[in-house]
Amino acid sequence: MVLSWNDYIKKISILIVQLQMSIILAIFYFFYFSIIGVYVIFLPKVLSMAGYGASDIGIIFAAAPLVRFVVPFAFIKGLKINIASFNIALLIMSLSSISFYFSLDSFYKLLFSNITLGIGLSIVLPYIEVISLQYLKKERYGKVRLFGSVGFILVALVLVKFLDDPRVALLYLLILTFITAFIGHIIAKKAATILEKQVEHLNDINILKDWKLWLGLTLMQVSFGSFYNFFTIYTTDHGVTLDVTIYLWTFGVIVEIFMLYSQGSLLRKNLLLILQLSTLATALRWFLLFLFPSSIGFLFFSQSLHALSFALFHSAAISYLFYLYKHKSLAQQFFSGITYGFGAFLGALIAGYVYEFYPSYLFLSATLIALMAAWFLYLWGSSQKGVNNQQLD
C-alpha cells in the first residue's frame, strides 16, 4: 500500500506530538520523584533529628496514604476525573509544601501538611500514569518513567551534603513541588481529552469480586512501610553511616533505572506471573535486611532486588490493571489509593510501632507480609485459569 504525501505528513505530525509528550512526561517524572526522594529518604530522618519518636513519625507518614485511599471513592460518588480536579490537586500539593516548611515545630501542623499533600498526590500521579500509558504504551513506558528515578538519585546525592539543618530538606520539598506543579499543568493542557473520554466508561471495577488481586497488591505495599519510612533510621542505628545509606538508596535506584529501561520485552509476557515472582523477590529482600542489618555487602545485594520489587512490579501492576479494566483512569486511581494509599498507611503504622517496641523484628514482619501478598496473588491467578492472562494487549 502506497501512502500519499498527506499520509506521510500526518504520521510525522503524530510522531512529533508523541515525542513532545514523551519529553514533557520525562521532565514531570524527574521532578515528581525528586519530591518523593526528599519525602522518603530525608523527611523521616528530619523528624527524628527534630525530636519526634518512631510512633509519631509512623503516624505522620501514615496520614497522606490514608487520604490517598479515601479520595478515589469520591470519584465513584460523583467527583469527575478531569483537568479541573487535576489542577486543583496541583494547587493543593503546592500549598501543602509551603505548610510543611512552617510546621516542623508542631506534630499537628505536620500531620495536617501530610494530609493535604496526600490529597494532591492521590490525584496527580494516577492522572499522569494514564496519559503515559495512553501515549507511550507499556513497552515504552519504562524508558520515560526512568527519568523519575534519575531525579530521585540526584536529589539524594545533593541533599545529603546539606542536611545539617532540617529545614534545608523542607526547602527542597517546597521548590521541587512548585516546579512539578508547573510541568503537570502543561501536561494537563496538552492531554486534557484523555481523561475526559475515560469518564464515559461505566465503573467495571469490582474490588469485592476481585479481592484476592487487590489484597495481594495492597499487602505488597504494606511490606514496604518498613523500608520507605525507616530504612535510613534502621541502617544508621546499626552503625551504617548516613553517606553509605544514601549510596544504598542510590544503588537501588540505579538498578531500578536499568530495569525500567530494559523491561519492555518482559512486559509482553505473563504480567500476573511477573507480579507473583517479584513479590517473592521482595520477601527475600526484606529477609536479608532482617538477617544482615549491618553487612554492607548484603545491604547492597538486597537493594539490587529493588529492580524487581519496585520497578518491574510497578510497571507490571499498572499495565495489568490498564488492560484488565475498561475504566482505565479509575483503575489507576484505585491502584494508587488502595495500594500506595491504604497499603502505605497500614505499612507506616505497623512499621512505626514494630520499630518502637521490637526494632530487631522490623524487616521480619515485612517479610511475612510480602509472603502473604505473594500467596494472595497466587490464589488470584488460580481463580483466573480460564481467563487469558498470558497476553493482555
Q: Tell me the three cell numbers of residue 81.
A: 476525573
Other Cβ atoms less than 10 A from the Cβ of 70: the count is 15
Rounding to the nearest 10 degrees, give the CA dihedral for residues 311, 316, 319, 324. -150
pTM of the model: 0.75
* pLDDT at residue number 362: 94
**Residue 160 and residue 164: Cα distance in Å, rounded?**
9
**Phi then psi for 55, rounded to 5 degrees?**
-70, -35
Please name each of the domains of the chain with its CATH number.
22-383 (1.20.1250.20)
* pLDDT at residue number 122: 76
* pLDDT at residue number 296: 95
* b/e per residue 229-252 (b: at least 16 CB within 10 A): bbbbbbbeeeebeeeebbbbbbbb
Contacts of 11 (CB under 8 A, 6+ apart): 3
* pLDDT at residue number 300: 96
* pLDDT at residue number 30: 93
* pLDDT at residue number 393: 46
Residue by residue, pLDDT tens for the chain (393 residues) are: 555 655 555 555 555 556 678 888 999 999 998 988 888 778 887 888 888 887 788 788 777 777 777 877 776 665 666 777 788 889 999 999 999 888 888 899 989 988 888 888 778 887 888 788 777 777 778 888 889 888 888 887 787 777 667 778 888 889 999 999 999 988 888 776 655 555 555 566 778 888 999 999 999 999 999 998 889 889 999 999 988 988 898 899 889 888 988 887 888 888 999 999 999 999 999 999 999 999 999 999 999 999 999 889 998 998 899 888 877 777 887 888 888 878 888 888 899 889 888 889 999 999 999 999 999 999 998 887 655 444 444
What's the full length of the chain, in residues? Answer: 393
Q: Tell me the three cell numbers of residue 228.
A: 520507605
**Residue 290 and residue 282: Cα distance in Å, rounded?**
13
Cα angle, residue 140 at apex, residues 136 and 142 outer, rounded to 5°: 110
* pLDDT at residue number 196: 56
* pLDDT at residue number 19: 66
Q: How far is CA 72 from its chain centroid?
A: 16
**Phi then psi for 363, rounded to 5 degrees?**
-85, -10
* pLDDT at residue number 366: 96
* b/e per residue 179-197 (b: at least 16 CB within 10 A): bbbebbeebbeebeebbee
* pLDDT at residue number 391: 44
